[in-house]
Amino acid sequence: MDLKFDFNHVMLLPRECVVESRGDTDVSAKLGKRTFRIPLMAANMPSIIDETIAIELAKRNYFYVMHRVDIDILQFVAKMKSLGLFTSIAIGIKKPFHDLIDKLHAEGLVPDYVTIDLANGHCQRTKLMIEHLRSKFGDETFIIAGNVATQEAVIDLESWGADATRVGLGPGYVCTTSPRTGFGSRGWQLSAIADCAKVAKKVIIADGGVRSSGDIAKAIHFGAHWVMSGLFFTGHKESPGEVVVENNVTYKTYYGNASAQCKQSNSRIEGRSTLIPVETSLYDKLIEVEEDLQSAVSFSGGTKLEDITKVDHVFIR
């Protein structure tokens, strides 16, 4: 049986440092036609991202995916374009989203990035949506599809026309898919990343399961090009989650897209809600992540992010 592993089962091994300062390293990451400051993106969750944060992230050259819950996506795309900022949206696969694509096309609004957001993205309806997007926007729109956790799924999504694949089924901090269904990559997310990266010819986005900047470095080492997270973007004064004060401690609510709080329903729940203490500014946190990744690159004996893929690792199970 193939033994699987996760972030806490691995450590990366350092090499001789070749830079005078960690500030001399490059931790930028390309996605489509653009290059961003770090390979970390905000998850498309209402408790993580809203229009205000999307605008600020775009202005500061961080990538985001706007959520699709009870918002006017067409209006959002129009506003971002009016501000001269890149547009990145999430959509589903049902008819209203096909209609949305038609409306965007009719208005001449071409989104720069579209994430097809499904719990299990390995399905024919994902293929149909990719085909619909391509028929309207051609290669002008960078398509992210998911979520998946197997090599077969990555091969299919890429062959259907996806530019990037989100890897991760249920490893997120507020996701309960795995305990509720018995399926997913919880407990072996890093293995899932490694397995999927072996067959991928395009971009791999590791979605969920990271708890620290070091986990981002490990994901990159095992083949991810990008990491998506909600946890890194919550617990900040700018976070859109509801403010809760208990025992003189200020918290923000953090909940999954499949939680009862987000769905406003108790049907088919695969997420939970929790409270995260408010500690730092979001943008201070992102600078901290950037500096941590620069340190990681310096430990790799290289000068750029991809050098992290070249080091050795040990298993510490």
What span, in angstroms and rounded, lies between the C-alpha atoms of 104 and 259?
29
Instruction: Give, as one character, the DSSP assignment of residue 264.
Output: T
The stretches of the chain forming alpha helices (DSSP H) are 51-59, 73-82, 95-106, 124-137, 151-160, 177-181, 189-199, 213-221, 260-263, 282-299
What span, in angstroms and rounded, lies between the C-alpha atoms of 271 and 25?
38
Residues 6+ apart with CB under 8 A from 224: 39, 167, 193, 197, 204, 205, 206
Environment class of 199 (CB within 10 Å of its CB; exposed 0-12, middle 13-18, buried 19+): middle
Task: Tell me which residues are annotated as active site.
Answer: 175
What span, in angstroms and rounded, lies between the C-alpha atoms of 42 and 232?
8
Q: What share of the chain is helix, strand, coil (3-state, %, to 5)?
A: 40, 20, 40
- Cα 239 → chain centroid: 16
Q: How, if at all, do strands 34-36 and 29-31 pair?
A: antiparallel
What span, in angstroms and rounded, lies between the C-alpha atoms of 133 and 137?
6
Among residues 15, 40, 14, which one has the least CA distance to residue 27? 40
Environment class of 55 (CB within 10 Å of its CB; exposed 0-12, middle 13-18, buried 19+): middle
Residues 6+ apart with CB under 8 A from 39: 27, 29, 216, 220, 224, 225, 226, 227, 293, 305
* β-bridge partners, 207: 228
Cα 184 to Cα 2, 209, 287: the distances in Å are 16, 12, 32
